[in-house]
Structure 1
Amino acid sequence: MQVYDVPVAFFDLDDSLINKDANSLWIRWRARRERWAVVEAMLALASLYRAYKKGRVTHWRLSNYYRTRTRGMSPEEYQARVERFFEERGQLHIYPQAASLLFAYQRQGTELVMITGSDDVVARAYGKALGFKHVISNRLRSEDGRITGLELPMCYGPGKVELARRFLADKGLTFSDAAFYSDSHADIPLLDAVRQPVVLNPSPELRSIARERSWPCLDWRPQG
């Protein structure tokens, strides 16, 4: 695995550093414990994932999903459930190769940043396990002790680019100082922006685009 000489390396989470997307893992874990999770799963599959495949994820749609996902929970209750989820299921899906790649970047002094569409509670759990000092994610909004949706900007598509830009600007850096690893066609705007894009376990669509643009490709999925 080649390591690039950049001050900052951004990494996506879902299907990149882990072999599933965190929302699917959460739904399967929760469905065994709470009947409400069936409604959550139906909403996610019928609305959110179809929108994702079509590139039509909106702030309203994602906030609605999180209102359903956390119905009636306080931020503290959600934190406790996520910690249990991560311990019982979430951590089992981290690619073993991820630790080696991240360590190589840390050894050369590159600052590592996870940048993901997962919510901040889930993202921090994975970030801590993988040794990230910085995590950029969708941020849960709460009112009167209850989760009500997501803050803006949304960490998806152009919003992810803007959040990455702000992080770099705070360091006195620009996209020419960064690499980015991702599996998703939704991340093409950020892959286009950085100096060194790398596609990681890519979707067929992204693999085709990577070939056209001569982007490096890593695939940690079992072959055959």
Structure 2
Amino acid sequence: MRQLALFDLDHTLIPIDSDYEWGQFLCRIGAVDAEAFAHRNADFFAQYQAGTLDPVEYLEFALRTLSQFKRPQLDEFHAQFMQEVIQPALLPAAFDLLKKHQDQGDLIAIITATNRFVTTPIAAALGVEHLLAAEPELDTHLNVTGKLIGVPTSGSGKVVHLHDWLRQRDQQLSDFSHSYFYSDSHNDIPLLEVVTHPVATNPNAKLSAHAQARGWPQINLFHQQ
């Protein structure tokens, strides 16, 4: 039976939060009102770290920001973002972990609370074909409308999206001999609890304590980087 390997993205495969850094990047290049946006972005990031973030509220804020720009402009911004912010954050330890599962022939997917526009090029740069992410509504010209499709891919929503994705593939979690999920955050405990091999990866304090209590392995990919 094939194995399934799932990965969170931010602070798991990369040592930064891509959503937060995208907002900081937009401020830096003058695409948004830097003072107002940076303050709001920082508030949401603090809520995420504390486990109090309303994912719908945050995603509506993030997607409204994307909707201010036509798609060609967004793509130009993102190419610069990849070069300046993401490429330096793609570190060997993450590629080594992915390669271990690739060499085993595992089905691999990234499942992230960050929206698909921000994360699709990052998943591609990591060599991961399958991406489960918050889905922005697009118009016929692929412009972001500012609306979210479906439930957020955060907390228990990650479990919902995983089952939906597997169902689309005519599969279910029990079809895999082993299922792994690597995450840094206590926000991902719902999905960590349903796989056979949860791995606390660069864990925050709350997840580290939970993992220790549950006897889950803990790894740190970036402490030597």
TM above 0.5, one fold? yes
Matches within 5 A, 1:59-208: 59-143=55-139, 145-169=143-167, 170-174=169-173, 177=176, 178-208=179-209
CA distance in 1 between partners of 2:144 and 2:166 (Å): 32
Larger mean CA deviation between 167-176 and 119-128 belongs to: 167-176
Which residue of the partner structure matches residue 28 of structure 1? Answer: 24
CA distance in 1 between partners of 2:209 and 2:2 (Å): 25
Question: Which amino acid in 2 is paired with 1:130?
Answer: L
How many Å apart are 1:124 and its aligned residue? 1.1
Pick closer, same or farther for the CA change 1:71–1:166 going to 2, 3 Å. Answer: closer
Question: Which amino acid in 2 is paired with 1:160?
Answer: K
Report the secondary structure of 1:89's partner residue. Answer: helix
CA distance in 1 between partners of 2:155 and 2:174 (Å): 16
CA distance in 2 between partners of 1:216 and 1:106 (Å): 20
Aligned-pair identity (%): 27
Which residue of the partner structure matches residue 11 of structure 1? Answer: 7
Q: Deviations over 1:195-223 (max 9, x none)?
A: 11001000011001110001011112326
Pick closer, same or farther for the CA change 1:35–1:122 going to 2, 3 Å. Answer: closer
- On the 8 A contact 1:114/1:136 being kept in 2, the answer is yes
Which residue of the partner structure matches residue 37 of structure 2? Answer: 40
Q: What is the TM-score of this pair, normalised by structure 2? A: 0.87
Report the secondary structure of 2:161's partner residue. Answer: helix
CA distance in 1 between partners of 2:211 and 2:190 (Å): 13
* Paired residue total: 218
Q: What is the alpha-carbon root mean square deviation over aligned residues?
A: 2.1
CA distance in 2 between partners of 1:175 and 1:76 (Å): 42
CA distance in 2 between partners of 1:163 and 1:72 (Å): 27
Stretches of structure 2 that go unaligned for 5 or more consecutive residues are none
- On the 8 A contact 2:182/2:201 being kept in 1, the answer is yes
Stretches of structure 1 that go unaligned for 5 or more consecutive residues are none
CA distance in 2 between partners of 1:105 and 1:45 (Å): 35
Report the secondary structure of 2:24's partner residue. Answer: helix
Question: Which amino acid in 2 is paired with 1:140?
Answer: P
